[in-house]
Structure 1
């Protein structure tokens, strides 16, 4: 076993155990025993509904670039992407290349154009997040939680700054090339024996696909139908995310306001994006539990709901993604 790779997951388990101890093991078990399975199933269905609308959003973007691909392949690629997002640092960050790799020979799209669809998908995903962060900030300020308001404001500014910087880079072919060459040269200095032999192939890939990438992004932005429909699916996806968490609370017999769920979900999402732990495992549970307690939820209820929600949104897709990879494989099919 590679202990360095396993360490983040071990750390996440330690954090979860510490949370249960903090909340009181007996209290957490008492809350779990009164779980309404039917409402918990509804929460699971909300998760799958969110995945389907996410896949529909990406599929609309793909079709907007004239790329032909079956929806079931788009959905399978998304599950594979979620799997690798959950085992690499940064929420929803590490799996994007695997999405492209899976679809490139299952469609008529090039690497560059498919990367453009993934990038557009990620940008459109952030529109409802930023809006809900503003709503969350107004909500906690109205309740008098100035400290929490400051945290949300800081996270919002960080997210806007990172998004703005990323947009500035990806909209310029010259800047994209410069960043890619900087990364390649850095890797070549660190591990020359493994990187140098791929230099010619790397240059060919960059020269061929970067123009497709920047052109694809421009097409998505200018196509009003694609932009509006995919944005609609973005809001629908996040509505299902909020409802998933809400029904977890309902399954535990606890009444909670939707605005409280929105607040916690947006803070956890933003922290997860910048987390160095794969998928934000452990960190997300700690953040959601802490914020729920700050909003007046009991410790045992906050921790139990956070763990159940993460079983649905992290561990379940981890298992499903592994099944998809095992059954379908990652290697592109030959024509």
Structure 2
């Protein structure tokens, strides 16, 4: 239902913009440029898979590239159909690591949590710089300034809660055992928390690996800005890469508010407003938002759907052959 509401928001934005100009702009991008953008997105997916493999290796667990790809495709599919907080995708990843790769619940949760923290810390740093630049340099309405600040506070709070829950984990234990329902499963919870703690300690102590993950995280987020800037150049608009990057991060920041699946509607609307603040018309802004959204959301969503669907068909045929 939420997915359809998100699509309705995008359609409404299209109707409010110059529909004919938007469609002409989208068509003017050309298949070659769309393919280049999709290749950049595939490179992004590849780097994320490498990061997952390295995190698993750092705690002494084995994950092949195909395993990381399988997990990411499942996670992407589920997070694409749930609100933008992406809890559904993270849960799917934990379940995959447990059922398919044999990770304990503590190990799987630690790997997923650590990767999420790394990604969000890198994103938060880039968003903070972008936010300061926009609030100081670019003239925006008070309403939109408030939305940007609220979005930043939401993301900051989310990251802070995750980090603090790791730092003050022992105090959290005492709170957990006060809950009667959880007290019945005290042994399982202790085992989970022990495995979780051990994995996190291994990941934090490895300084060189931590730096590697931060660098990879920044490269991954930089590729998102590169895609935006590439679309801007193809459409003949003249803004600096730094401006395109700032708009990209602030748009994703607003899109992370858990309103609609993948931030549909809020993503497109935010990008149009931010692009208009640097002199790009709403129709061109809509083209940029649609193409970027297709490459980073719909293309990946379709890719994950096709991947999982193909795997399911192959599995069914194998089962039928054994009967």
Same topology, TM > 0.5: yes
Given the two structures, how large is their TM-score scaled by the length of structure 2? 0.86
Aligned: 1:267 with 2:250: yes
**Map of 1:30 onto structure 2:** 24
Query: Does the residue aligned with 2:32 lie in a helix, a strand or coil?
Result: helix
1:232 aligns with 2:215: yes
Unaligned runs of 5+ in 2: 316-323
Structure 1 residues 50-59 or 320-329, which shifts more? 320-329
Which is worse superposed, 111-120 or 130-139? 130-139
Q: Tell me the SS of whatever aligns to 2:213.
A: helix
Aligned position for 2:230: 247
Q: Select 2:166's aligned residue among 157, 170, 177.
A: 170
Secondary structure of the residue aligned to 1:279 is coil
2:262 is paired with a residue whose SS is coil
Partner of 1:107: 101
2:208 matches 1:214: no
Number of aligned residue pairs: give it.
310
Answer whether contact 2:121 2:159 (CA < 8 A) is retained: no
Deviation at 1:120, TM superposition (A): 0.6
Select the structure with the greater relative contact order (CA < 8 A; seq sep ≥ 6): 1
In the TM superposition, residue 325 of structure 1 has moved relative to its aligned partner by 2.4
Q: Does 1:85 align with 2:79?
A: yes
In the aligned structure 1, how far is the partner of 2:275 from the partner of 2:176? Answer: 40
1:36-55 to structure 2, matched below 5 A, reads 36-55=30-49
2:143 corresponds to 1:160? no
Structure 1 pair 328/108, CA: closer, same or farther in 2 (3 Å)? same
Give the Cα–Cα distance (whole angstroms) in 2 for the partners of residues 144 and 282 of structure 1.
23
Distance 1:102 1:134, change over 3 A: same
TM-score, normalization by structure 1: 0.83
Report the equivalent of 1:68. 62
Deviation at 1:127, TM superposition (A): 2.3
Cα distance between partner residues in 1 of 2:207 and 2:75:
27
Where does residue 281 of structure 2 map in the other structure?
A: 298
* Cα RMSD (Å): 2.7
1:223 matched to 2:206? The reply is yes
The CA distance in 1 between the partners of 2:242 and 2:203, in whole Å, is 32
Deviation, 1:162, is: 2.6
**CA shift at 1:112, angstroms?**
0.9
1:12 partnered with 2:9: no
Structure 1's unaligned 5+ residue stretches are 1-5, 186-198
Aligned to 1:189: none
Q: Deviations over 1:62-93 (max 9, x none)?
A: 11000112121012201211111111122433
In structure 2, the partner of 1:322 is 305
